[in-house]
């Protein structure tokens, strides 16, 4: 098995090198060449292989995503007359492709005959769903007369809007190349080639002109070109980039806004990161690929400018990107809100892809600094430590409304995690002829095959990211002149990112040092690397020492959300204060004065082993109700955990940016009837916002609300729900005579409206009785709707809400007195 795989790689590498005119000036060292043995990544990669990938395949089956291929095949054979429901989304096929890609990566380093056989069967199902001319898109093939509404009545006609036909093909190509390289089997590759040939026949100069609504086809075609040498695929990738924009649409449809899918200008003219963040980073990655393969520097100039914009104005401290939930998009410059930060897990994956490619173009460590920041923080936060629940958005602050889910209706993120985690070791090294770049510090043994045919084994011993000592042993196949570029991370050079967006609030007590064979090397930096050029011989050592004090970070004053606040970092890890570890189960009421010393401590028993940060904070609480609120303060123990590990112990408060003075603090509220109730609802979202003491700004305030969406709307499933309920329960009987309702309503943005009607019931014995409200049950927007009723003594209240037809409903606050 092993020798077969080796032969496949050799074939691809040798023939690929001859076929491609040019490629990246620096070459990645494939993850297959890097055997990770450390305590941080090795267990994660193993959980991904043994838990997440089988789990995601099971979800693909349970949710009908695999059935879609079977149904499409039946339709093609004419066996299916009643075709029933179209797939949930026209991009559901990609959730299968992504997990195949992830599974293939694991197969190439970990033989597993059972998984191999499972993939063979799955690929047969995919093959059977492909139309004779190569078209592969179950959302249409299942029932061409009644395709998914986003697909449009004819092929490609809605591609630039919402059909995702080309997006599906792009993920197919990525999966096919991975499967071919891992197994040497052409089964999926041949499917991809048939599909790509159809695209080549359909699109191009003198044929149809179209740009992918959701980018990735460009990257996928570049990969397909590399393994097949068929230049037409590269030409098509370039064509798909060059025909994008400028879109002149001026209507109101959110998904048609030119900037939503980066069609506001020609790609080579773009200067700012805008629109849907996943599409954007996939496009920038595709531009890097096409630039590398064609030598066209216009793409490079554009993505360099865009990178300056992101690194300087649109990057969260966690490496997350895409601040806005509306359109899953980049926000305006410096618009980096914490609680509503969208930061889709897929956007973090895309950010990593893009920065890695920029590094391969420029050999500059500033891209690896962003990649590492994303990788260790805002990307792996997307999957739980046990590998079975996921975050779609990755916010930097929570009141407890956020929680991980085992799957999503739009399930892009879990699949992306499976393929990403399996390939992380490919980010550790890069090489060119007689040079090696050491980019990440991961306990591992790598067999690095240089372009010049030589092989160098590099072993890293380190407890990174918890300790900054890294010992590397270099073993060339024979003594040879070679430059090893050792990255000195930005965080160890007092520069969180190569921009003025963030800076450390203090000076580092010590600086990084490097020894080669026990002799200190001058720390002369070139593009973030110390370059060690010498004749390396077997057993030579490099000892890197990166001191890891706990640091405070401040953001540029333009970032309103972070003013008067600090974030905590240690090494590459960004910290978060989470409710579980702090007294009173609250953290948003804490102030962390700059004078408080912070120390680090390794806790093997906690969160699969983490370094925690400890100190003392000041806790603020309201100790009185009413117009003149009194606030009390007390000193208490403070503990922060790595951000990536939050929300693994239930839902509650979390914050990354802590106020360093009382100006930014949110005192813990005084206990009221409202916030002391246990709340449950008929919806699936957290009901906690309803009990919050902070007034909403308006009914459409999207910072902190509850709604029943998608219940009541067309996307809420076949059994349309027309009403919802909320219950407040108390341990002891309470007496109540007033209630205030502030409705959530996102007219113009979503499907939630003030209700058609509502009522309040109270618990009486075993039943519910309505309260005797003699006034109106108000449904006005942007205000509290007050009701007054004869006092009732009870242990529970129930709010019943009737939805408007075809709409859902939601509640900003429900207060009772």
Distances (CA, A) of 389 to 234, 346, 632, 649, 650: 37, 15, 38, 12, 12
Taking the least distance from each CB to Zn ion, the nearer of 63 and 431 is 63
Provide the minimum distance between the beta carbon of 66 and Zn ion in the complex, in angstroms, as a whole number. Answer: 20
Contacts of 504 (CB under 8 A, 6+ apart): 494, 496, 551, 552, 553, 554, 569
CB of 376 to Zn ion, least distance (A): 19
Shortest distance, CB of residue 316 to Zn ion, whole angstroms? Answer: 16
Part in contact with Zn ion (CB under 5 A); list of ranges 52-60, 267-275, 336-344, 630-638: 336-344
Residue 418: alpha-carbon gap to chain centroid: 12
How far, rounded to the nearest angstrom, does the alpha carbon of residue 768 sit from its chain's CA centroid?
A: 44
CB 56 within 8 A of CB 99: yes
Contacts of 281-284 with CB under 8 Å at 24 or more apart are: 281/321, 281/347, 281/350, 281/351, 281/353, 281/354, 282/170, 282/214, 282/215, 282/216, 282/218, 282/219, 282/350, 282/353, 283/215, 283/218, 283/241, 283/244, 284/354
Can you tell me the distance from the alpha carbon of 311 to that of 519, in angstroms, rounded to the nearest whole number?
36
Task: Quickly count: other Cβ atoms within 10 Å of residue 731's Cβ.
Answer: 9
Min separation Cβ 386 and Zn ion, Å: 20
Beta strand 469-476 with 480-487: parallel, antiparallel or unpaired? unpaired
Looking at the Cβ atoms of 281 and 460, the one nearer to Zn ion is: 281
Residues 70/143, Cβ–Cβ less than 8 Å: no
Q: Is residue 412 among the annotated active site residues?
A: yes
Cis peptide, bond prior to residue 246, ω within 30 of zero: yes
- The nearer residue to Zn ion, 382 or 696, going by C-beta atoms, is 382
Please tell me which residue in 101, 165, 328, 569 is annotated as part of the active site: 328
State the CB neighbour count (10 A cutoff) for residue 591: 21
DSSP classification of residue 784: -
**Residue 333 Cβ, how far from Zn ion at the closest point, in Å?**
24
Residue nearer to Zn ion on the CB measure, 413 or 532: 413
Q: How far is CA 82 from CA 128, 139, 176, 518, 617, in A?
A: 19, 15, 31, 75, 64
Which is closer to Zn ion, CB of 344 or CB of 397? 344
Regarding 346 and contact with Zn ion (CB under 5 A), the answer is yes
Q: Is 346 a catalytic residue?
A: no
Alpha carbon 769 to its chain centroid, in Å, reads: 46
Q: How far, in Å, are 13, 358, 365, 448 from residue 27 at the CA level?
A: 12, 12, 15, 11
| Beta carbon of residue 601, minimum distance to Zn ion (angstroms, whole number) | 34
Nearer to Zn ion, 346 or 421 (CB): 346
Residue 494's nearest CA partner among 483, 482, 506 is: 506
Mask of contacts with Zn ion, 375-414, x by CB under 5 A? Answer: -------------------------------------xx-
Binding segment for Zn ion among 346-354, 458-466, 518-526, 743-751 (CB under 5 A)? 346-354
Angle at 280 between CA 278 and CA 282, to 5 degrees: 70
d(CA 652, CA 39): 28
Residues 739, 704: Cα–Cα separation, whole Å: 20
User: Nearer Cβ to Zn ion, position 412 or 546?
Assistant: 412
3-state DSSP of 545-606: ECCCCEEEEEECCCCHHHCCEEEEEECCEEEEEEHHHCHHHCCCCEECCCCCCCEEEEECCC
Question: Long-range contacts: 454-460, Cβ < 8 Å, 24+?
Answer: 454/478, 454/480, 456/480, 456/482, 456/536, 458/429
In the complex, least distance from residue 345 CB atom to Zn ion, rounded to whole angstroms = 5
Question: Is the separation of the CB atoms in 106 and 115 below 8 Å?
Answer: yes
Interaction residues for Zn ion, span 656-715 (CB under 5 A): none
Q: Which of 647, 507, 635 is nearest to 576 (CA)?
A: 647
Q: Of the ranges 267-275, 345-353, 702-710, 803-811, which one interacts with Zn ion (CB under 5 A)?
A: 345-353
DSSP string, 396-461: SEEES----BS--SS-HHHHHHHHHHHHGGGGSEEEETTEEEE-S--SEEEEEE-TTS-EEEEEEE
CA distance 16 to 198: 23
Nearer to Zn ion, 412 or 618 (CB): 412
Q: Cis peptide before 710, with omega less than 30 degrees from 0?
A: yes
Instruction: Give min distance, CB of 622 to Zn ion, in A.
Output: 39
CB nearer Zn ion, residue 412 or residue 559: 412
CA neighbor of 76 nearest in space, from 162, 134, 159, 119: 134
Choice between 418 and 779, CB closer to Zn ion: 418
Here's the x/- map for Zn ion, 751-790, by CB under 5 A: it reads as ----------------------------------------
Tell me which stretch binds Zn ion (CB under 5 A): 245-253, 342-350, 631-639, 683-691.
Answer: 342-350
Of all residues in the shown chain, the one whose CB is closest to Zn ion is 346
Site for Zn ion in 554-613 (CB under 5 A): none
Minimum CB separation of residue 285 from Zn ion in Å reads 15
CB closer to Zn ion, 57 vs 464: 57
CA 743 to chain CA centroid, nearest Å? 31
CB of 407 to Zn ion, least distance (A): 12
3-state SS, one letter per residue, for 11-52: HHHHHHHHHCCCCCCCEECCHHHEEECCCCHHHHHHHHHHHH
Active-site entry in 265, 412, 727, 800: 412
Size of interface with Zn ion, in residues (CB under 5 A): 4
Q: Which of residues 411-450 bind Zn ion (CB under 5 A)?
A: 412-413
361's CB contacts (< 8 A; 6+ apart) are 24, 25, 26, 288, 291, 292, 300
- Length of the chain equals 817
Q: Which is nearer to Zn ion, 74 or 344 (CB)?
A: 344
CB of 413 to Zn ion, least distance (A): 4
Fill in the DSSP letter of residue 253.
-
Q: What is the rounded distance in angstroms from the CA atom of residue 645 to the CA atom of residue 643?
A: 5
The distance of closest approach from Cβ of residue 63 to Zn ion in the complex, given in angstroms and rounded to an integer, is 15
Decide whether 420 or 529 has the Cβ nearer to Zn ion: 420
Question: Is 325 a binder of Zn ion (CB under 5 A)?
Answer: no
CB of 523 to Zn ion, least distance (A): 40
Query: Contact residues for Zn ion (CB under 5 A)?
Result: 344, 346, 412-413
Give the catalytic positions in this structure.
328, 412
């Amino acid at each position: 098995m092993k020798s077969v795989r080796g032969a496949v790689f050799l074939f691809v590498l040798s023939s690929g090198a001859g076929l491609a005119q040019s490629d990246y000036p620096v070459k990645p060292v494939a993850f297959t060449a890097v055997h990770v043995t450390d305590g941080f990544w090795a267990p994660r990669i193993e959980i991904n292989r043994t838990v997440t990938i089988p789990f995601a395949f099971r979800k693909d089956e349970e949710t009908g995503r695999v059935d879609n291929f079977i149904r499409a095949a039946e339709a093609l054979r004419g066996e299916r007359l009643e075709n029933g429901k179209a797939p949930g989304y026209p991009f559901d096929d990609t959730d299968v492709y992504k997990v195949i890609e992830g599974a293939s990566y694991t197969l190439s380093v970990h033989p597993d005959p059972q998984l191999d056989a499972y993939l063979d069967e799955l690929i047969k199902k995919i093959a059977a769903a492909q139309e004779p001319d190569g078209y592969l898109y179950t959302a249409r093939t299942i029932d061409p007369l009644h395709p998914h509404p986003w697909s449009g009545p004819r092929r490609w006609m809605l591609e630039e809007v919402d059909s995702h036909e080309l997006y599906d093909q792009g993920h197919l190509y990525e999966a096919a190349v991975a499967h071919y390289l891992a197994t040497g089997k052409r089964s999926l590759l041949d499917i991809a080639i048939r599909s790509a040939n159809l695209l080549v026949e359909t699109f191009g100069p003198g044929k149809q002109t179209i740009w992918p609504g959701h980018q990735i086809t460009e990257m996928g075609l570049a990969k397909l070109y590399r393994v097949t040498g068929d230049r037409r695929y590269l030409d098509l990738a370039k064509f798909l980039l060059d025909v994008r924009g400028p879109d002149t649409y001026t209507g109101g449809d959110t998904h048609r806004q030119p900037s939503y899918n980066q069609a506001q200008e020609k790609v080579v003219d773009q200067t700012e990161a805008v629109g849907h963040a996943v599409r954007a980073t996939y496009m920038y990655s595709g531009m890097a690929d096409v630039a590398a393969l064609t030598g066209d520097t216009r793409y490079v100039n554009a993505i360099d400018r865009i990178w300056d914009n992101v690194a300087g104005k649109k990057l969260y401290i966690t490496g997350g990107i895409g601040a806005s939930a509306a359109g899953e998009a980049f926000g305006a410059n410096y618009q980096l809100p914490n609680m509503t930060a969208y930061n889709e897990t897929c956007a973090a994956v895309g950010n990593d892809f893009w920065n890695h490619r920029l590094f391969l173009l420029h050999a500059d460590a500033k891209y690896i600094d962003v990649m590492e920041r994303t990788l260790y923080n805002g990307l792996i936060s997307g999957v739980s430590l046990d590998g079975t629940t996921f975050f779609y958005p990755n916010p930097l602050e929570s009141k407890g409304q956020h929680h991980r889910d085992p799957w999503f209706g739009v399930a892009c993120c879990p699949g992306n995690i499976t393929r990403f985690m399996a390939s992380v070791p490919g980010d550790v090294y890069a090489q060119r002829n007689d040079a090696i770049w050491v980019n990440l510090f991961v306990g591992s043994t790598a067999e690095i095959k240089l372009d010049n045919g030589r092989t160098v084994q590099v072993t890293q011993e380190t407890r990174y990211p918890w300790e900054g000592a890294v010992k590397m042993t270099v073993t060339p196949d024979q003594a040879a002149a070679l430059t090893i570029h050792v990255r000195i991370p930005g965080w160890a050079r007092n520069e969180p990112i190569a921009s003025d967006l963030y800076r450390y609030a203090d000076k580092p007590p010590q600086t990084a040092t490097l020894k080669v064979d026990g002799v200190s090397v001058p720390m002369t930096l070139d593009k973030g690397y110390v370059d060690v050029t010498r004749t390396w011989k077997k057993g030579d050592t490099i000892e890197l020492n990166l001191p890891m004090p706990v640091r405070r970070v401040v953001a540029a004053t333009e970032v309103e959300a972070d003013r008067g606040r600090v974030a905590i970092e240690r090494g590459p890890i960004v910290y978060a204060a989470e409710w579980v570890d702090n007294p009173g189960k609250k953290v948003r009421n804490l102030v962390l004065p700059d004078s408080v010393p912070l120390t680090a401590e390794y806790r093997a028993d906690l969160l699969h082993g983490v370094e925690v940060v400890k100190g003392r904070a000041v806790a603020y609480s309201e100790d009185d109700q009413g117009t003149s609120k009194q606030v009390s303060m007390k000193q208490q123990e403070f503990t922060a955990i790595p951000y990536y590990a939050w929300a693994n112990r239930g839902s509650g408060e979390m914050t990354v940016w802590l106020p360093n003075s009382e100006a930014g603090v949110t005192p813990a509220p005084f206990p009221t009837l409202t916030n002391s109730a246990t709340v449950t609802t008929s919806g699936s979202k957290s009901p906690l916002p309803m009990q919050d003491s902070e007034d909403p700004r308006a009914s459409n305030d999207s910072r902190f609300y509850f709604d029943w969406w998608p219940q009541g709307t067309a996307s809420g499933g076949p059994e349309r729900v027309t009403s919802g309920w909320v219950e407040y329960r108390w341990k002891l009987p309470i007496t109540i005579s007033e209630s205030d309702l502030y409705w959530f309503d996102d007219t113009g943005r979503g499907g939630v409206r003030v209700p058609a009607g509502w009522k309040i019931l109270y618990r009486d014995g075993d039943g519910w009785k309505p309260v005797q409200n003699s006034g109106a049950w108000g449904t006005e927007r942007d205000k509290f709707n007050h009701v007054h009723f004869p006092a009732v003594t009870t242990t529970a209240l129930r709010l019943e809400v009737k939805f408007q037809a075809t709409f859902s409903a939601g509640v900003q606050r429900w207060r009772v007195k």
